[in-house]
């Protein structure tokens, strides 16, 4: 029996492009079983557009308006919490989905019960939906080497350094709600990066290489309806995408992310049987902390590097010999 699919959409002053996105959801060859829209106190016609759409939609549409502006992360958190389906697909307010998106994602999840999360590529377009000549994955550097890491189970090596999975292309099994919620707001990751990281810690992650959404860039870009409390507005195009989905370079940032992930896995260890994930994350944390405080003396540095090489942690959690050489001469 097919799973029920919920769409969690967040809106904020999205009247200009929202109709296009709603129309693309209505045109899905596999319609959703519900659309949950959480609005973060829009001052334009956003809510009226959603209400009008709900009257003609072939599936239930539930609109919830926040009592106060809470920002993108908490708005998505609320939308996810309200979803009742077995699978939750996240939606921005200004993109356009290709008709086969939900059907392709559903097929991926049905084929493999171990897969907890699926994401896709996206075609980057301008405000008029004209292609800009590159895909989302090309813009953020999710290349063949990173795809191989995901396929071989080393997805945390891709996710921990920064956001790779765009929420607008993501769907996950709702059984992981307790693991991903609440979403921290004090990390160098937004909602999509946190969700992907946590689910990847305890389940398989899969991807579909074809672009299944048109990822719209425009002058007032608020990626994922993200508001000024988190990333500001007005950043568009290739530079905007790179900024919004930046690669974290600070060891301290990675340590903070991994530490909070470890804490959440510890809280949920009985539900998600996360002992193996905890062990791997503890080992990764030890390696990151050690690399962030390299010994000053040359002999001590050599001993440290040799020890990390013998333990294979450079190969498991960094870039192998390249990272070892970097640490020797840092």
Average pLDDT score over residue span 178-185: 94
Is residue 81 over pLDDT 80?
yes
Is residue 284 over pLDDT 50?
yes
pLDDT digits (tens, 9 = 90+) for 198-246: 999 999 999 999 999 999 998 765 443 333 333 333 344 455 555 555 4
Average pLDDT score over residue span 176-189: 92
| The predicted structure's pLDDT at residue 235 | 40
| The predicted structure's pLDDT at residue 241 | 52
Is residue 287 over pLDDT 90?
no
Average pLDDT score over residue span 148-162: 83
Is residue 157 over pLDDT 70?
yes
Percent of the chain with pLDDT over 90: 60
Is residue 185 over pLDDT 70?
yes
pLDDT digits (tens, 9 = 90+) for 92-125: 999 999 999 999 999 999 999 999 999 999 999 9
| The predicted structure's pLDDT at residue 37 | 99
Is residue 137 over pLDDT 70?
yes
Q: Which structural domains are found in the chain, ordered by start?
A: 5-244 (3.90.550.10), 251-328 (no CATH)
| The predicted structure's pLDDT at residue 240 | 52
The reported pTM is 0.85
The mean-pLDDT minimum among 130-139, 204-213, 251-260 falls in 251-260
pLDDT digits (tens, 9 = 90+) for 4-56: 999 999 999 999 999 999 999 999 999 999 999 999 999 999 999 999 999 99
280-309: b or e for each residue (b if 16 or more CB lie within 10 Å)?
A: ebeebbebbebbeeeeeeeeebeebbeebe
Average pLDDT score over residue span 54-74: 97
């Amino acid at each position: 029996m097919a799973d029920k699919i919920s769409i969690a959409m967040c809106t904020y002053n999205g009247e200009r492009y929202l109709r296009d996105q709603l129309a693309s959801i209505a045109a899905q060859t596999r319609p959703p079983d519900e659309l949950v829209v959480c609005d973060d106190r829009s001052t334009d016609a956003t809510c009226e557009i959603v209400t009008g759409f709900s009257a003609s939609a072939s599936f239930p549409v539930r609109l919830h308006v926040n009592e106060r502006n809470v920002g993108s992360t908490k708005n998505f958190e609320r939308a996810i919490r309200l979803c009742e389906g077995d699978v939750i697909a996240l939606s921005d307010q200004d993109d356009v989905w290709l008709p086969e998106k939900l059907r392709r994602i559903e097929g991926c999840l049905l084929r493999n019960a171990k897969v907890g999360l699926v994401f896709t590529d996206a075609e980057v377009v301008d405000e008029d939906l004209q292609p800009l000549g590159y895909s989302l994955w090309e813009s953020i550097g999710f290349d063949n080497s990173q795809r191989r890491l995901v396929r071989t189970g080393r997805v945390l090596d891709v996710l921990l350094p920064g956001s790779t999975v765009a929420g607008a292309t993501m769907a996950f099994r709702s059984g992981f709600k307790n693991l991903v919620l609440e979403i921290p707001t004090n990390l160098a990751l937004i909602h999509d990066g946190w969700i992907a990281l946590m689910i990847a810690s305890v389940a398989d992650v899969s991807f579909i290489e074809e672009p299944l959404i048109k990822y719209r860039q425009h002058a007032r870009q608020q990626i994922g309806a993200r508001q000024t409390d988190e990333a500001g507005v007005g950043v568009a195009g290739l530079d905007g995408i790179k900024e919004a989905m930046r690669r974290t370079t600070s060891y301290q940032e990675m340590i903070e992310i991994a530490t909070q992930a470890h804490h959440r896995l510890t809280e949920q260890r009985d539900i998600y049987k996360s002992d193996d994930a905890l062990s791997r994350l503890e080992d990764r944390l030890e390696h990151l902390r050690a690399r962030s405080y390299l010994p000053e003396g040359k002999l001590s540095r050599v001993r440290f590097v040799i020890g990390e090489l013998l333990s294979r942690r450079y190969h498991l959690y960094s870039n192998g010999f390249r990272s070892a050489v970097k640490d020797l001469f840092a």
